[in-house]
Amino acid sequence: MPNLISQGGVVLILIALLSIAAIALITERIIYYYNRQERNKDLSGYVIELLQTGLFPRILEELQSKNSPEAHVLFVGVKYRKSNVTETEKRMEAQAQKEMVDLERNVEYLANIANIATLLGLLGTVTGMIISFLNLKLSGVSDPAVLAGGISQALITTAAGLSVAIPSLLFYHIFTQIINRSASRMEIYSDDLLAYYLDEK
C-alpha cells in the first residue's frame, strides 16, 4: 500500500481522502433514509379512516411518533384541520419543503465527489505520462523501464479515481430516487387529505 501511494503521488492521496468522504456520506444517508422510511404504504388512507371516527388525539399521537416525512406532513394537515383548506394546504407545503431540505442534505456532494475523483484520476494520468516522457527524454535511451514509473502512476490514479467515482455516482442516483419517491408520496398524501376535507364541506 505505501508503495502504491508513493507511485500515485499527491493525486492518489487526494482521491483517497475523497473516498473517505464518500463512504462517510453514503453511510450517513443510508442510516438516515432507513430510519425515516414510512412502513405504511397507505398512510393517508389510514389517517382518513381514523378521521372519520373522530379519534383526533390518537391520530396526532400516532403521526407524531412516526419519523417519516410523509407522517410529518400529514401531522401538520391534521393539526390544522380546523383552519380553512387553503391555509392547511400552505402549512403542509411548508412542512414538505422542510422535509425535502433534510432529505436532500449532503446528497449533492456525492455527485461532486464523483466528478472531482474522475478529474483527479485524469490529472494523475496526464502527469504520469508527462513524467514518463520527461524521464525518457532525460535518459536519452529508448528503455521501456524508464517509462514504467510514470505509466504506473497514470494507471493507478485512473483506477483509483474511477473506483471512487462509480459508487459515488451510483449512490447519488439511488438517493435521488428515494428523495423523488418520498416527495411524490408527500404530495399524494397531502392531496388525499385535502380532498377529504373538501368532501366534508
Q: In the chain, where are the structural domains located?
A: 2-200
pLDDT tens-digit profile, the chain (201 residues)? 444 445 557 888 999 999 999 999 999 999 999 999 998 889 999 999 989 888 888 899 999 999 999 999 999 999 988 878 899 999 999 999 999 999 999 999 999 999 999 999 988 888 877 777 776 666 665 666 656 656 766 788 889 999 999 999 999 999 999 999 999 999 999 999 999 988 776
17-21, Cβ contacts within 8 angstroms, sequence gap of 24 or more: 18/113, 18/116, 18/117, 18/120, 18/164, 19/117, 19/160, 19/163, 19/164, 21/109, 21/113
Give strand ranges (E) for the chain: none
Please count the residues of the chain: 201
